[in-house]
Amino acid sequence: MTDSGLPASVAAIRRVQQDPNRLGQRRHGSTEPVEGVGLGTTGPATKRIIVGYGFWIFLLSDIVVFSCFFAAFAVQRGATAGGPTLEQIVDIRRVAFETAALLLSSYTCMLSFAATNARSRLWTQIFLLVTGVLGLVFVLLEVQEFAELAGRGITPQRSGMLTSFFGLVGLHGVHVTIGGMWLATMMAQVQVKGFRREIVHRLICFNLFWHALDIVWIGIFTIVYLMGSNSTGSGA
C-alpha cells in the first residue's frame, strides 16, 4: 500500500477514508499496514486469531445454553412440591471449597498459558497439572454433594426445583469433567508434540474454556447457593 508519487496529504486522506479507526495500523508509532489483521487490504487474519475468535463464539453459545438452565431454575426455585427447600439442601462450607478450587484452577490455568508464551514446557505442564488437580477436587466435592443428597432421598424427580437444581449444577459439573479430560489430552500433546503452532492454538482454546467455566460458576454459586441459603432470597 504505497502511494508513491502522490503528496503525503493525499495518502493520509486515503488512509482515513479506508480505515478511519486505524484498525489496520500498529497501535503506536508506525503507519505501515499490518499483515494478518483480517482487514482485506493486508490479507486474511492469522489462524491464531481465527481459531481464538471461533472458539469465543462457541463459548458464548455455550453460555446461552447455561442461561436456559438458569432461566429454568429461576422459574422453578419455589416449586418444591412439599419436598425439601433450597435452604435445606445447600451446604455453604462445601460450596466455599468448590469455589476456591475452581478460582485457583483458573489462576493456575492462566499461569500455564504465560509459561506457554515463554515456551517453558516444564512450567506449562506443572501449572496444567495443578489446574487439573484443582478441577478434580471440584468435581469430587460435587459428586460427594450429589451422593449425600441422594442418600437423604433428595433426587431430581422429587420436585421441579430439584430437577432444575440438579440440571444446572450437573451441567456445569459435566463441563468441568469434559474440560479435565481435554486438559489431560493437552498435557499429553504438549509432552509429545511440543509447542507446535496448532498445539498452542488448542491451549488458547482450552484456556478460554476453563475461564468460561469459572464465570458460569460465579453465577451458580451466587444465584443457586448464596441466594438459596439466604431465606430472604427465596420468596416467590
Partner 1 sequence: MSDLNERADHAPGDEPPGEESGHWVRNANLGLAFSIVLTVAAFLLAGSHVIYMPAIPVALLVLAIAQMGVHLVFFLHITTGPDNTNNVLALAFGILVVFLVVAGSIWIMDHLSQNMMPTNQMGQMP
- Cell triple for residue 46? 492469522
Alpha carbons within 13 angstroms on the beta-carbon side of residue 145 total: 23
By beta-carbon proximity to partner 1, the closer residue of 115 and 183 is 115
Shortest spacing between CB 7 and partner 1, in angstroms:
26
Alpha carbons within 13 angstroms on the beta-carbon side of residue 138 total: 31
Sole window of 96-104, 144-152, 160-168, 185-193 interacting with partner 1 (rule: CB under 8 A): 96-104
Q: Is 204 an interacting residue with respect to partner 1 (CB under 8 A)? A: yes
By beta-carbon proximity to partner 1, the closer residue of 6 and 92 is 92
* Residue carrying C-alpha cell 496444567: 128
- CA 80/CA 66 separation, integer angstroms: 22
> What track of x and - describes contact with partner 1 for positions 16 through 55 (by CB under 8 A)?
-----xxxxxxx------xxxxx------xxxxxxxxx-x
Shortest spacing between CB 5 and partner 1, in angstroms:
27
* Residue carrying C-alpha cell 508509532: 29
The H-assigned helical ranges of 194-225 are: 197-220
- Cell triple for residue 166? 440438579
- The residues with which 43 forms a beta bridge, in sequence order, are 40
- In the set 8, 9, 64, 192, which binds partner 1 (CB under 8 A)? 64
Q: Is 232 an interacting residue with respect to partner 1 (CB under 8 A)? A: yes
Q: Is 207 an interacting residue with respect to partner 1 (CB under 8 A)? A: yes
By beta-carbon proximity to partner 1, the closer residue of 2 and 21 is 21
- CA 53/CA 59 separation, integer angstroms: 10
By beta-carbon proximity to partner 1, the closer residue of 72 and 171 is 72
